[in-house]
Amino acid sequence: MITAIVLVHVEADRIPEVAEEIAALQGVSEVYSVTGAADLIAMVRVREHDALADVIADRLSKVAGIRGTETHIAFRTYSQHDLDAAFSLGVQDAD
């Protein structure tokens, strides 16, 4: 699975509508309304690199109200959920 984090810059009066439209796109797993330089963050998860272009360049970036995007592709995932699962299987830290 390939994960891309897309920072989305949106016209201020269209943020809720744009978020809902992006969230409905196939390949988009979540959309977050955030503070900071970007207005929204979209999590895109696809099986192949070519599919990123289909989702991000061909569909997401063409949603009315989007002023621009910045895409980051994830190399590895680290999460507390993954660590908790590993410990429940008997994996332990080396002290």
* In-domain check, residue 35: yes
In this prediction, residue 62 carries a pLDDT of: 97
Q: Annotate 32-87 with three-state secondary structure.
A: EECCCCCCEEEEEEECCHHHHHHHHHCCHHHCCCEEEEEEEECCCCCCHHHHHHHH
The Cα 49–Cα 73 span in angstroms is: 10
Q: Which domain holds residue 80?
A: 2-88
20, part of any domain: yes
Write down the pLDDT at residue 54: 97
Residue 84: what pLDDT?
61
Q: From first to last of its 95 residues, what are the pLDDT tens digits of the chain?
A: 999 999 999 999 999 999 999 999 999 999 999 999 999 999 999 999 999 999 999 999 999 999 999 999 999 888 776 556 655 555 455 55
Is residue 61 a contact partner of residue 69, using CB atoms and an 8 Å limit? yes
Q: Looking at the 3D structure of the chain, how many domains does it have? A: 1
What's the pTM value of the predicted model, to 2 decimals?
Answer: 0.82
Q: Is residue 95 part of a domain?
A: no
Kindly report the CATH number assigned to the domain that includes residue 65: 3.30.70.920
**Any domain includes 93:** no
Residue 6, in any domain of the structure: yes
> Is residue 25 assigned to a domain?
yes
Which two tokens mark 22?
Answer: 């992006």
**Cα–Cα distance measured from residue 88 to residue 71, given in angstroms and rounded to the nearest whole number:** 34
Find all residues with CB under 8 Å of 74, minimum gap 6, and list them.
2, 3, 4, 5
**Model pLDDT, residue 93:** 52
